Amino acid sequence: MAAIIRDTQLDRSRQVALQIYEILHRRILNVELVPGTILSRASLQLEFGVSQTPVRDALMRLQEEGVVDVYPQYATVVAKIDIRHAQQAQFLRLSLELEAVSKLTKESPSQTASELSDILAKQTSFASPESYDLFDATDRDFHRKLYERAGILDLWTNVRRQSVHLDRLRRLNLPMPGKMQTVLDDHQAIIDGIASKNPAQATQALRKHLSGTLSITDLISEKFPDYVRG
């Protein structure tokens, strides 16, 4: 399967290779570019109106993250979703966010709960099939806020870098019946635990929330056998 050629305008005041990377990364993250899609360098050069070098640099960065497979003299292909990598990313997130939530129940519960509630209200407004991208983006805003309020925002960048396979897996899960409402309910439970100054309640809600997608990997693999590898 080859990627569709578009006419994408770049901001010439910013590094071109980085922008191409960001655009392709977002398309892969959203499963707009599904596993198995061929990324033709010539087509990407045509789409972005650039030379070979920035396209090559962007693809090399995606390869380093494990989201594309490069076959020399043949093709660059969007990689399958790696379940083991997703499991490791979840372990990392769970370790950090459990500590963050526990800390926030003790140090700034009211302010944190208020700011998370504002994000949740926005996410609720995006809970429809027409707004998957916005719903998903606001979900990340919710979790980023935990890092920000806990004073560990620098770690968010590292977590995001490690979470691509987990995020792609979650994106396949998002359209499943009831999934968006479950996410909203989980977020509310986390907020309630923080607002109540109850670390056990808050961490239990977070643990349930972050384990949701990986608990049904068999179902996702069965539904998307060509997209996932164990």
pLDDT tens, residue by residue, 84-115: 999 999 999 999 999 999 999 999 999 999 99
> Per the domain annotation, does 209 fall within a domain?
yes
Percent of the chain with pLDDT over 70: 97
pLDDT number for residue 189: 98
Element of type H or E holding 84 = helix 83-107
Cβ–Cβ under 8 Å, residues 145 and 115: yes
Q: Does 164 lie in the same domain as 56? A: no
Assess contact for 182 and 116: CB atoms under 8 A. Answer: no
Which residues constitute the domain of residue 166? 82-229
What percentage of the chain has pLDDT greater than the value 90?
72
| Mean pLDDT on 170-176 | 86
Burial 154-179 (b: 16+ CB within 10 A, else e): eebeebbebbbbbbbbbbbbbeeeeb
Last residue of a domain, one of 24, 45, 79: 79
The 10 Å CB-count burial string (b at 16+, else e) for 205-224 is: bbeebbeebbebbeebbeeb
Task: Give 216's pLDDT tier (boundaries 50, 70, 90).
Answer: confident
Residue 80 neighbours by CB distance under 10 Å? 20
Residue 160 has pLDDT above 70, yes or no: yes
- The residue among 168, 183, 167, 173 whose CA lies nearest residue 218 is 173
Predicted confidence (pLDDT) at residue 138 exceeds the cutoff of 90:
yes
The residue-averaged pLDDT of 206-225 equals: 87
Q: Are residues 54 and 122 in the same domain?
A: no
For the segment 5-24, the average pLDDT, to the nearest whole number, is: 81
Q: Confirm whether 105 is domain-assigned.
A: yes
If pLDDT is split at 50, 70 and 90, which confidence band does 6 have?
A: low
> Within a domain: residue 41?
yes
Which DSSP symbol is given to 139? Answer: H
Q: Is residue 205 part of a domain?
A: yes
Rounded to whole angstroms, the Cα distance separating 163 from 81 reads: 11
Q: With respect to residue 166, please indicate whether it lies within any of the assigned structural domains.
A: yes
Radius of gyration of the chain, Cα coordinates, nearest whole angstrom: 19
In a domain, 11, yes or no: no
Q: Which CATH number characterizes residue 38's domain? A: 1.10.10.10
Q: Work out the pLDDT band at 174, boundaries 50, 70, 90.
A: confident
**Is residue 143 over pLDDT 80?**
yes
- Write the single-letter amino acid at 38: I
Question: What distances in angstroms separate CA 203 from CA 67, 189, 222, 225, one per listed residue?
Answer: 31, 10, 31, 33
Does 39 lie in the same domain as 153?
A: no
Shared domain check, 174 and 119: yes
Confidence of residue 3 (pLDDT cuts 50, 70, 90): low
Q: What is the CATH number of the domain that holds 187?
A: 1.20.120.530
Statement to judge: residues 42 and 88 lie in one domain:
no
**How far is it, in rounded angstroms, from Cα 18 to Cα 225?**
32
How many domains are contained in the chain? 2
Query: Domain end: 79, 96, 112, which one?
Result: 79
The domain boundary, picked from 40, 58, 79, lies at 79
Above 60 in pLDDT, residue 125? yes
- Regarding whether 105 and 191 lie in a shared domain, the answer is yes
* Contact criterion met (CB below 8 Å) for 28 and 78: yes
Q: Which two tokens stand for residue 163?
A: 């979470």
**In a domain? residue 6:** no
110 and 90 housed in the same domain:
yes
Same domain, 22 and 117: no
Q: Is residue 137 part of a domain?
A: yes
Q: Give the pLDDT score at 51.
A: 92
Residue 206 has a pLDDT of 97
Q: 130 and 66 in one domain?
A: no
Q: Answer yes or no: do 125 and 213 share one domain.
A: yes
First to last CA, the chain: 22
Structure token pair of residue 69: 């497979």
CB 50 within 8 A of CB 15: no
pLDDT band at 12 (very low <50, low <70, confident <90, very high): confident
| Residues 55, 163 within the same domain | no
Same domain, 196 and 120: yes
Instruction: Indicate whether 4 pLDDT > 80.
Output: no
Average pLDDT score, the chain: 91
On the question of pLDDT at 52 being above 60, the answer is yes
